[in-house]
Structure 1
Amino acid sequence: MSLINIRALGVTLSTDLFANLNLSIAAGDRIGLVAANGRGKSTLLKCITGAFEPTTGEITRARGLTVGHMEQNLPAGLERLTFREAVLDALSPEQQESESWRADVTLEELEVPEVLRERPLAALSGGWQRIALVARVRVGEPDVLLLDEPTNHLDLEKIARMENWLATLPRDMPVVLSSHDRAFLDAVTNRTLFLRPERSQLFALPYSRARVALDEADAAEERRFEKDMKTAQQLRQQAAKLNNIGINSGSDLLVVKTKQLKARAERIEEAAKPAHLERSAGAIRLANRGTHAKVLVTLEDSAVDTPDGTLLFRTGQKFICQGDRIVLLGLNGTGKTRLVRRLRQAIEGAGEPGIRPTPSLVLGYGDQALSDLSDGETPHGTIIHRFDMGDQRARSLLAGAGFSVEMQGRPVGQLSGGQKARLGMLVLRLANPNFYLLDEPTNHLDIEGQEALERELTVQEASCLFVSHDRAFVRAVANRFWLIEKRRLIEVDGPEDFFAETAMLA
């Protein structure tokens, strides 16, 4: 039974986000909403709730249907409340008075630790704040859930917790969620909507299988278009020949036939639809300066500890070699970020005990907070001030990375997370490193950007060590796997056992 019907829906802002969208949301649907950053996912969810008026089309809902919508950002002022107060705040004043138990049930359902429930949201990580947003939607027990990027800022354990929670919801409760986490989409969805400016595509499949079907459909569409264009060209060629014969012979019949062939060619050309061409958000390219050194970094049983001196783990003797793409795995709090920081400091010349980089190493560093970018600087200023190049060259590079002239002059602090990430990638490229140290590099990238980064790291044969909670990215990029376990850094054959263990702990 259909609960929400979307007919011929379209939204046009500065450009068409989507048009002629038809979608039926029924009991039991778990729909993954996929599109590049800024292409209308959040807008569509707001249209479904009634918070945004579409340009064209209509949405009808079953009578009495309640819709819960989790947006991406904390409402203003909510960070001052404790976790429990923030969830309670989502209820009506009457419910807060008589049904406060709902908040406790929801916190239990989402397995929020007791110790966190009375802490202000401002004191919690971005991941726990994200779970608080989910809890605020769930506490009202809506008939339909709309979740906008529910896994943003979540580590692997919390992603597994989110997957488990979605699996425990009533089977007939529809869920529509937008996400750039491919493994998460595969785990929790049974339908996938690829949102496009024209001819959005819906498949009754989870993301990876739907992506294969989409690529096949696009290829078939391209073949049909090429065939139609070839047919139209042949008709025009025939018409031209007949026209010449008709003129020379004075045959009215051939003149009429010529007009008929031209008209047929025009009808075919008008009806032919080119295959979808995705508008790129900007190219992601990396450099690989290269080095004659085979061993880039030597770890000589270095101790990694907390700021107060508590030992987290020892590295043992390890070597990072040219061509290695090493992923650093480990549960939260085991010391992944501490090791990354120590590696950075050692490579930049700070002198870290037990870490010996080769003198020819040139570092490309990027962290999940994009802290290397100044919010008060503009993208144009960032490139001009850091690298020896002229104004026109800087503008050309920024345009290639997806930055319009207007965006190039906007403060970095006003850019979206995806735009900041692409600027960070451009800065990395221009540093021309021969070793990359990356902490959650896909955090703000859409699927197109993630796949572009994967290609660059592998095709360029870049040497890197990275930390990532993106399982699809880890599987695509890493060729060595280091795991922090029982205060030791060990090498394992692959990530799957760790992923499975993390899911069991959630």
Structure 2
Amino acid sequence: MFSIEIEQVKKELGTRTLFQIPKLTAGTRARIGLVGRNGVGKTTLFEILAGIKEPDQGEIRRKGSTGYIRQLSPEDDRLSGGEKTRKWIKAEMRQRPALLFADEPTSNLDVESVRHLERQFKKYSGAVFLISHDRAFLNEVVDTIWELENEIITVYPGNYDAYLAAKAKQHEKAAQAYSERQAKKSQLEEAIRHREKEAGKQVRPSKRLTSKEIRSAKPSKGVQQKKQHKLIKAIEKRIDRLETVEKPYQFKAVKITIPKERMLKPGSAVLTAQALTLQAGEKVLFQTKGFTLRAGEKVVLSGVNASGKTSLLRAIIGEDSALRLSPDVTIGYFDQELRNLDKAATVLENIQKANVHEDKVALDVLGSLHFDQEDWQKPVQVLSGGERVKLSLAMLLTQGANFLILDEPTNYLDIEALEALEQMIASYEGAVLFVSHDRMFTEKVAEKMLLIEEKELRLIDQPPDVYKKEKEEPQVEEDKLLLTLRQSEIAAKLMEPQLSEAEKKALDEEYFEIVRKLKHI
């Protein structure tokens, strides 16, 4: 049974077609993840499916009520962190719509809130449709991926990892087809060169030859050349008839360098924090005994919502007396309000103002973040929220800073741009302090942690995944021991003759529930 049926739906933006969908359906318990680059029309499609906007043509049949959790803009005045996001989600889910559309619902949520949302969406009774850059979240929740690319929707069964595997196979197949086509073309072109060479070798018979000798000689140069050129034209037609195969897109890795005059000595102190207490008004956010961040380190600032992460970043930028920066430090700061953008200027004009490298470096960074050449002349004011975030990051990466401070840089980015940002930050030669609740991004980039926990800030000299594993292992072992002891108790009780059938049944059920839990630990 379908929760939604989409037929011949089309939407245009000016002269540009965003998408055309001949026919598409989803079941009543569907878990759909919609993926695609920033600006392709994902949010517009969700607004149409949810009944907020109308398509230019086509029909949408819905079975039941709809709910829409909208994407908060990176410039939204109401954006104050995860509390706003959680409040919006609760308000929509309380209505229990049959079709729930959620556009970037994990933005600004801390890790525990994201995990809670995963559990809510997994057990939700209706159909759930998600737009999310959080790959770990998609893996946990969805069972189908809809990819919006080149104006069409392609359906991939499975979660995000399954989608990636299918795309990798497609890319491999396309690369093989392109290679075979190029090899065949080269072979035919070589045959043309050979025929042209043969035609050039033909010579006319000498005038000194007798009539008999001329008749027995090979055909004249003109005849032979005509024959060769006829063969060449036949081969050229074969080349023209070769199936057109586009060269598969190959991601170009871009390394962000720092000008020599701004390079810091490896291991030198970038930021030294003395013992301090950070407050918001009368409220104590956290205390710390102090820490030091060094050149080249990639450090994630972690903590629950409202624990003081953004306040710490602003204190560093504001040069709090207890937070001492090296005099040689040049900061590049990414904030969620995107203050470094000139909205009236074009994409190219914005990055040219920031860039301290050759023009090619700026253009390579734009390309890695999927700004095509046709995007360069667009004014910032017409860009989507995600495109503005990408431009702001591109400007930051090319301005020559040796210490990047990034406050939630992964929000609103499409997944391909997110992966490009991972690569660029990992190869960046300077120090990076960042806040992100994207678990996969954090695990790929961070080497250390600044952790705010129970109103205390401390530096953890381990990557987040290693720290988490070591922290959880003792608890896991304790849980296993307690479950095993309870299992033994139940086994002993089941041997008691005075137990009623109802008591035996209850103990049996508890015993097998423990078996199930032990398998999952």
TM-score (normalizing by structure 1): 0.71
Deviation (angstroms), 1:11: 4.4
Match of 1:461 among 414, 429, 434: 429
Is 2:416 aligned against 1:448? yes
Q: Deviations over 1:312-347 (max 9, x none)?
A: 33332422112211111112233222322222233x
Match of 2:242 among 256, 259, 268: 268
Match of 2:55 in 1: 53
| 8 A Cα contact 1:297 1:321, kept in partner | yes
Match of 1:166 among 121, 125, 133: 121
Match of 2:204 in 1: none
Q: Structure 2 matches for 1:342-421, cutoff 5 A?
A: 342-346=315-319, 352-353=321-322, 355-373=323-341, 402=371, 410=379, 415-421=383-389
SS in 2 for 1:474: helix
SS in 2 for 1:343: helix
| 8 A Cα contact 1:328 1:482, kept in partner | yes
Using the alignment, how far apart are the partners of 1:12 and 1:203 within structure 2?
25
Using the alignment, how far apart are the partners of 1:299 and 1:43 within structure 2?
46
Deviation (angstroms), 1:359: 2.0
| 8 A Cα contact 2:39 2:384, kept in partner | no
Flag structure 1 segments of 5+ consecutive residues without an equivalent. Answer: 80-121, 502-506
Per mean C-alpha deviation after superposition, the further-off stretch among 284-293 and 393-402 is: 393-402
Is 2:425 aligned against 1:477? no
> Identity percentage over the alignment?
28
Match of 1:231 in 2: 184
Q: Structure 2 matches for 1:24-423, cutoff 5 A?
A: 24-49=25-50, 51-54=53-56, 61=61, 64-72=63-71, 125=80, 127-135=82-90, 137-170=92-125, 173-197=126-150, 200-235=153-188, 248=223, 265-269=239-243, 272-275=244-247, 277=249, 287=258, 289-292=262-265, 294-297=267-270, 299=272, 301-308=274-281, 310-346=283-319, 352-353=321-322, 355-373=323-341, 402=371, 410=379, 415-423=383-391
SS in 2 for 1:195: strand
| 8 A Cα contact 1:35 1:194, kept in partner | yes
| Cα separation, partners in 2 of 1:456 and 1:378, compared to 1, 3 Å | same
Using the alignment, how far apart are the partners of 1:249 and 1:29 within structure 2?
70
| 8 A Cα contact 2:133 2:411, kept in partner | no
| Cα separation, partners in 2 of 1:218 and 1:384, compared to 1, 3 Å | closer
Q: Which amino acid aligns with 1:303?
A: L
| Cα separation, partners in 2 of 1:352 and 1:145, compared to 1, 3 Å | same
SS in 1 for 2:242: helix
| Cα separation, partners in 2 of 1:263 and 1:10, compared to 1, 3 Å | farther
TM-score (normalizing by structure 2): 0.69
Q: Which amino acid aligns with 2:336?
A: Q
SS in 2 for 1:306: strand
Per mean C-alpha deviation after superposition, the further-off stretch among 21-30 and 207-216 is: 21-30
Deviation (angstroms), 1:406: 8.8
Q: Which amino acid aligns with 1:484?
A: I
| 8 A Cα contact 2:405 2:432, kept in partner | yes
Match of 2:464 among 495, 500, 503: 495
Deviation (angstroms), 1:61: 3.4
Deviation (angstroms), 1:258: 8.0
Using the alignment, how far apart are the partners of 1:240 and 1:409 within structure 2?
46
Q: Deviations over 1:74-119 (max 9, x none)?
A: 9xxxx9xxxxxxxxxxxxxxxxxxxxxxxxxxxxxxxxxxxxxxxx
Using the alignment, how far apart are the partners of 1:334 and 1:240 within structure 2?
72
| 8 A Cα contact 2:355 2:362, kept in partner | no
Using the alignment, how far apart are the partners of 2:251 and 2:12 within structure 1?
16
Deviation (angstroms), 1:421: 2.0
| 8 A Cα contact 1:284 1:425, kept in partner | no
Q: Deviations over 1:390-434 (max 9, x none)?
A: 9x9999799768497997684x56643223323322442343111
Q: Which amino acid aligns with 1:425?
A: L
| 8 A Cα contact 1:284 1:453, kept in partner | no
Flag structure 2 segments of 5+ consecutive residues without an equivalent. Answer: 200-218, 473-521
Deviation (angstroms), 1:3: 4.2
